[in-house]
Structure 1
């Protein structure tokens, strides 16, 4: 009889209460982050093509030696971007200095003027 006991115990063990394995919860799916806003305070280093892409055609273009001044305008302000080639004198001219001012001549932050021009 001892030998039969393990055989009878197997069906009873199968009927015992079994807890189902814990369900794995899927990882939270995060929505993609919105595209970063254009940083108007980071115009230094842009090329003339980059500026035109952001602001449209310049109102004024002045060449002086190896430098170029591009002026962009909105109803509220004017933005002057000064482009020069690299220190070696070659390569694509890039913005090295930016100046912005209101139509009445008062100075203003370049990033505020750039935002006004893009909104125009």
Structure 2
């Protein structure tokens, strides 16, 4: 079982095509697992309204991954726009490399630079 905890974001950039000055994002994170058919899954955090600067999510997720050597985890940071979510940033890693980070009791993943 893969345990992931999404804590917070820091200084998230405004989404592309965001024209309004002072347009604050409403970020949320989607976590996707890609692998053999039984391992594929998707979860998302709650939306943090009007806080793209320092959003706090503090949510935990569990994924059943039977073959971590063949699985990828993707983190998508999106702006919860009323028309359609807009991409702020993303990052993809092999599940086995994320499992190694779990022993650190937290790790910063920079995906939006």
TM-score range relative to shorter protein = under 0.3
Higher helix share: 1
Q: Which has the higher strand share?
A: 2
Greater RCO, CA 8 A, separation 6+: 2
Q: Provide the TM-score with structure 2 as the length reference.
A: 0.28
Structure index of larger Rg = 1
Q: TM-score, normalised by structure 1?
A: 0.27
